[in-house]
Amino acid sequence: MKEGNFKNEAGWNFHNRYGELPPVFYKRQMPEPVREPRLVILNGGLAESLGLDNRVLQSKSGAEAFAGNEPPEGAEPLAQAYAGHQFGHFTMLGDGRAILLGEQITPSGERVDIQLKGAGRTPYSRGGDGRAGLGPMLREYMISEAMHALGIPTTRSLAVVTTGESIIRETEQTGAILTRVAASHLRVGTFQYASRFGSEGDLRALADYAIERHYPEAAEAENPYLALLQGVIKRQASLVAKWQLAGFIHGVMNTDNMTISGETIDYGPCAFMDTFDPSTVFSSIDRQGRYAYANQPPIAGWNLARFAETLLPLLHEEEEKSLQLAQEAISAFPKQYHSNWLKGMRAKLGLFGEEEEDKVLIEELLGMMHEQKADYTNTFRDLTFDRREGSSLYDLEQFDGWEKRWQERKDRQKESREEVLKSMKNSNPAVIPRNHRVEEALEAAVERGDLSVMMNLLEVLSKPYAHSSEQEEYSAPPPPTDPPYRTFCGT
Ligand code: AMP
Ligand code: MG
């Protein structure tokens, strides 16, 4: 027998546990109905893997469900409470425009959150209208699905509907709601909230829930809460290494935007880097460059230290011992991150085994790429397919020397050329969601109601390691822009 309370036409199979947590963690909140829900895009493959019937979801009742007008059977809508450090400053936040419908149990027995983003005001909305615009929601859809295809853990996007209502930002926009699917929406900020505003019992209940949901093996450990902390650190070390390897810049790594599950969440001002430059920042509000590309690993470490602090009362009865355990766990993060990154970089260069000099080899290449303003993604593609044109990088004498040493390093390993090529093809994407392509797709969809540009882009992005001929035109870097590309939070 499958777990779950309901079975119905669409296949919703909710079994909601978050709502069994102490009441400080949420407020029951129905989505605010909208005038005229219309389905813009539905993720058929994802729907199927969730056990949902695409035919039903595409019908009027699907749009009504995704708009929050008629929440699916078994849904128990609520807004989650959380706090967080935003650009270093602690604030009370919470779901201001997102409503959790419930936890879907999939046919394979997984449990995922189904959340409507832009579903109306909640007790945590502060001054906001609880709504979202079509452009930002389609942008999240495209980038999150591209991240998933790249093999980077992420929340997913199931559907976007328009509401038939306008929202007012700098300009008037088409209102929309995104259905987000996540391993859960537990954040570092949820623990910060518990620690600041809840009792020790509340905190323990939250930690137990996180263990049950994401780290069941921690329950068996001698110190389950320490195992939870170590588990989150390990997953984040892996996640942020994947971001760096793909050239992904999250843009707003506040502690409320860091998950306990280890998934990427909150696609506001994020963007992929074209030209390799560690100081790249896209977000218009990140004036100090706090969340620049090169800062992402240390910021993740900082966020995890905030997480560790919240767990202090649970780690040990004695405060000093607790601190010691937390510090030990946190101090492992930079090393874990670095070893994930190095492993990934070796794969990108087709290097098997480990040699002392690998790090120097990698860093020398990155140094030259930075100096020559080389395209990050395409440089690794060029190396994969033995192409040496289109960048001043390849004219450098230093590059010749580097290439010779890279070749010698590959000659020292027993793996064949085919194996090297395979590793490189699987680690170096042909396409990433380049900003100019994403903008082009959004412009067509939002301004002209033409979804075909976005659909084509999504298709290409769904197989980033295919290296097919159709992908060729999508791999071109953008024409130089002046001023540089900027992203906005889109709230
Ligand atoms: P974000 O920048 O998306 O991480 O959001 C930060 C906080 O602002 C969260 O608590 C959001 O729920 C809240 N928020 C963002 N946009 C809105 C909105 N339009 N209405 C109400 N709350 C919002
Ligand atoms: Mg957020």
- pLDDT tens track, the chain, 491 positions: 344 444 589 999 999 999 999 999 999 999 999 999 999 999 999 999 999 999 999 999 999 999 999 999 999 999 999 999 999 999 999 999 999 999 999 999 999 999 999 999 999 999 999 999 999 999 999 999 999 999 999 999 999 999 999 999 999 999 999 999 999 999 999 999 999 999 999 999 999 999 999 999 999 999 999 999 999 999 999 999 999 999 999 999 999 999 999 999 999 999 999 999 999 999 999 999 999 999 999 999 999 999 999 999 999 999 999 999 999 999 999 999 999 999 999 999 999 999 999 999 999 999 999 999 999 999 999 999 999 999 999 999 999 999 999 999 999 999 999 999 999 999 999 999 999 999 999 999 999 999 999 999 999 999 999 999 999 999 999 988 767 888 886 66
- Proximal ligand: closest to the CA of 265: 2
Q: Which amino acid is at 60?
A: K
CB 96 within 8 A of CB 491: no
User: What pLDDT shows up at residue 484?
Assistant: 83
Cα 353 to averaged position of ligand 1 atoms, centre (Å): 45
Verify that 193 and 181 share a domain, yes or no: no
Please pick, among 95, 202, 256, 382, the residue that the annotation labels catalytic.
256
491: Cβ below 6 Å to ligand 1? Answer: yes
255: Cβ below 6 Å to ligand 1? Answer: no
Q: Among 27, 32, 97, which is best to mutate for testing ligand 1, by the most ligand atoms less than 8 A from CB? A: 97
91: Cβ below 6 Å to ligand 1? Answer: no
Verify that 164 and 231 share a domain, yes or no: no
Q: State which of 125, 153, 185 marks the end of a domain.
A: 185
CB 268 within 8 A of CB 491: yes
Round to whole Å and give the CA distance between 362 and 96. Answer: 43
Cα 183 to averaged position of ligand 2 atoms, centre (Å): 16
Best CA proximity match to 435, nearest among 381, 392, 377, 373: 377
Verify that 43 and 117 share a domain, yes or no: yes
Round to whole Å and give the CA distance between 313 and 329. Answer: 15
Secondary structure element (H or E) that encloses residue 173, with its range: strand 172-182
Best CA proximity match to 432, nearest among 469, 381, 397, 383: 381
Verify that 245 and 319 share a domain, yes or no: yes
User: Helices H, strands E: what count in the chain?
Assistant: 17, 12
Any catalytic annotation for residue 256? yes
- Upstream peptide bond of 31 is cis (omega within 30 degrees of 0): no
Verify that 81 and 205 share a domain, yes or no: no
**23 within domain boundaries:** yes
Best CA proximity match to 183, nearest among 218, 131, 217, 148: 148
Tokens representing residue 159 in the block = 């559907």
- 3-state helix, strand, coil split of the chain in percent (to 5) is 50, 15, 35
Q: Which residues contact 177 (CB under 8 A, 6 or more apart)?
A: 34, 37, 66, 67, 68, 116, 117, 118, 119, 132, 137, 160, 161, 163
Secondary structure element (H or E) that encloses residue 158, with its range: strand 156-168
128: Cβ below 6 Å to ligand 1? Answer: yes
**328 within domain boundaries:** yes
Verify that 64 and 165 share a domain, yes or no: yes
Among protein residues, the one whose CA lies closest to atom 13 of ligand 1: 96
Cα 278 to averaged position of ligand 1 atoms, centre (Å): 28
CB 368 within 8 A of CB 391: no
268: Cβ below 6 Å to ligand 1? Answer: yes
CA angle, 307 as apex, 294 and 272 as ends, to 5°?
A: 30
**356 within domain boundaries:** no
- Proximal ligand: closest to the CA of 268: 1
Tokens representing residue 63 in the block = 């749009």
Round to whole Å and give the CA distance between 315 and 329. Answer: 11
Q: State which of 341, 357, 392 marks the end of a domain.
A: 341
The minimum-distance atom of ligand 1 relative to the CA of 94 is 10
**390 within domain boundaries:** no
Verify that 138 and 81 share a domain, yes or no: yes
Which residues are registered as beta bridge partners of 454?
none
**CA diameter of the chain:** 67
Per the listing, tokens 């936040």 go with 93
Question: What are the residue ranges of helices labelled H in 316-416?
Answer: 319-331, 333-348, 358-371, 376-384, 397-411
Verify that 225 and 318 share a domain, yes or no: yes
The minimum-distance atom of ligand 1 relative to the CA of 127 is 21
Best CA proximity match to 377, nearest among 424, 432, 426: 432
Tokens representing residue 88 in the block = 């270093």
**142 within domain boundaries:** yes
Expressed as residue numbers, the domain containing 254 is: 189-341
Among protein residues, the one whose CA lies closest to atom 8 of ligand 1: 96
- Proximal ligand: closest to the CA of 125: 1
Verify that 103 and 195 share a domain, yes or no: no
Residue 479: CB atoms within 10 A of its CB come to 6
CB 458 within 8 A of CB 142: yes
94: Cβ below 6 Å to ligand 1? Answer: yes
**436 within domain boundaries:** no
269: Cβ below 6 Å to ligand 1? Answer: no
Best CA proximity match to 399, nearest among 444, 361, 346, 348: 361
Tokens representing residue 265 in the block = 């969440």
Verify that 130 and 203 share a domain, yes or no: no
- Proximal ligand: closest to the CA of 131: 1
Dihedral sign for Cα atoms in the order 473, 159, 253, 489:
positive
Cα 196 to averaged position of ligand 1 atoms, centre (Å): 20
Question: What total number of domains does the chain contain?
Answer: 2
Round to whole Å and give the CA distance between 364 and 398. Answer: 9
**290 within domain boundaries:** yes
**477 within domain boundaries:** no
Cα 362 to averaged position of ligand 2 atoms, centre (Å): 34
Verify that 223 and 98 share a domain, yes or no: no
Verify that 208 and 176 share a domain, yes or no: no
Classify burial at 313, counting beta carbons within 10 Å of its beta carbon; exposed 0-12, middle 13-18, buried 19 or more.
middle
